[in-house]
Structure 1
Amino acid sequence: MITLLRGAVLSMSASEAVVDVGGMGFRVMATPTTLSQLRVGQEATIPTSFIVRDDSMTLYGFADEDERNTFDILIGLSGIGPKIGLAVLSVHTPDTLRGIVEREDIAALTQVPGIGRKGAQRILLELGTKLGPATSQVEAAAPSSVTADVVAALVGLGWSEPVAAEAVKTVEGESGPLPVSQMLKLALQKLGGKR
């Protein structure tokens, strides 16, 4: 099982990075927040979860061990695969998710693409105390934190900081506060081929 990668980041897109480990390129699927911390050409240490299915072998990368452990718990729930597990962590940090479970906040879970009301109820029931208590009372990421993460992700993907910041500002003006993953997606659409 591959639980950690350390090596130079060769390339990145909105949903994955390629990391050179000893001359081998590993493709790692990750959340926008995790990707925003990586820079092409720089060394990175990425906790990973290696998922083997009948038709694929996929490596998922995370910002830290807490995020990886939360992912592993999520995909252990019935009906939750890696795609939904990654989507949950794209919208909510592990600690925010703990708070959601403690408050039984169905509405917050339905913000995740692919999770409806019934699915959210089932997830809350199955998670129970598996994630442990929330370590802070943070309800959601502050908009400035989301903005900074998205700008950093765009810069990591090759756009200049002023161009990235302008795209994010435009998206915020049109759509209001959004989770990192949705804001990054809309900003990428705005930028198109501009570099």
Structure 2
Amino acid sequence: MYDYFSGKLIFKAPTHVILDVGGIGYHIHISLTTFSQIKDQEHCKLFVSFQVREDAQTLYGFATEGERQLFNHLISVSGIGPNTGRMMLSSITPEEIQSAIVNGHVATIQKIKGIGPKSAQRVILELQDKLKKQGPDALIALPVTKASVPEEALAALVMLGFVKAQAEKVLNSLINMEPDQSVEQLIKAALKKL
């Protein structure tokens, strides 16, 4: 239905943005990978995946066509919904996910929050041949009131479904170990500990 939206970023958070397109504000869920690419931009273009369920109509946005293609592949796997697909793309890079699937590295996929051994094996089984046929260049290369870094990281983790108190505890320990981390670094480190 929709291919992409291009407009002014009214609000940015690690989990979603509000994009003004022709005077209409679209609430678009994003991955941490996309956030790291658009966080310093005022205007951007997001490739979107429109997901319709019985109780919701949701837009998921991606900085590149390749990330969107991988997201659509992931959610085509039985048991992997849009939020899990977004979690996967927030935990490790799209290139790492694609490489793990093509090379059959179950452990890499399994280390993502919410993905157990059976789900990891199912992702590889269902997508390995599709991604191999596309070749290594199919995934388009990714270039690599304002809240504080810990507040943004906490808000992102809570929106991803983690308990606030638990996420706060993990973030505090990470900040004590290394105080000068970016939002993306904090979230990725927290995802490994939660």
TM-score, normalising length from structure 2?
0.70
What's the offset of the Cα at 1:64? 0.0
| Structure 2 SS opposite 1:73 | helix
Residue 107 (structure 1) aligns with:
107
Deviations 1:8-59 (A, max 9, x none): 0001223100000000100010111211222477111111101111100000
Percent same amino acid at aligned positions? 35
Q: Is the 8 A contact 2:10 2:18 kept in 1?
A: yes
**Structure 2 CA distance for partners of 1:67 and 1:122, relative to 1, 3 Å:** same
| Structure 1 SS opposite 2:130 | coil
Q: Which amino acid aligns with 1:17?
A: V
Q: Is the 8 A contact 1:13 1:157 kept in 2?
A: no
| Structure 2 SS opposite 1:128 | helix
Residue 33 (structure 1) aligns with:
33
Deviations 1:162-193 (A, max 9, x none): xx9xxx9x838738xxxx86722768xxxxxx
2:62 and 2:41 mapped to 1: Cα distance?
18
Residue 158 (structure 2) aligns with:
none
1:103 and 1:74 mapped to 2: Cα distance?
16
**Structure 2 CA distance for partners of 1:171 and 1:99, relative to 1, 3 Å:** same
1:173 and 1:133 mapped to 2: Cα distance?
43
Alignment map for 1:1-195 (pairs within 5 Å): 1-39=1-39, 42-131=42-131, 132-135=134-137, 158-159=147-148, 171=174, 174=177, 183-184=186-187
1:133 and 1:20 mapped to 2: Cα distance?
36
| Structure 2 SS opposite 1:84 | helix
**Structure 2 CA distance for partners of 1:40 and 1:78, relative to 1, 3 Å:** same
**Structure 2 CA distance for partners of 1:119 and 1:33, relative to 1, 3 Å:** same
Q: Is the 8 A contact 2:32 2:89 kept in 1?
A: no
- Runs of 5+ in structure 2 lacking a partner? 138-142, 154-170
**Structure 2 CA distance for partners of 1:181 and 1:53, relative to 1, 3 Å:** farther
What's the offset of the Cα at 1:118? 1.2
**Structure 2 CA distance for partners of 1:104 and 1:181, relative to 1, 3 Å:** farther
Q: Which amino acid aligns with 1:3?
A: D
| Structure 2 SS opposite 1:129 | helix
Deviations 1:100-148 (A, max 9, x none): 023211110012111011111111111122123335xxxxxxxxx9xxx
Q: Which amino acid aligns with 2:101?
A: V
Residue 156 (structure 2) aligns with:
none
1:35 and 1:16 mapped to 2: Cα distance?
8
**Structure 2 CA distance for partners of 1:172 and 1:104, relative to 1, 3 Å:** farther
Residue 193 (structure 1) aligns with:
none
Q: Which amino acid aligns with 1:87?
A: M
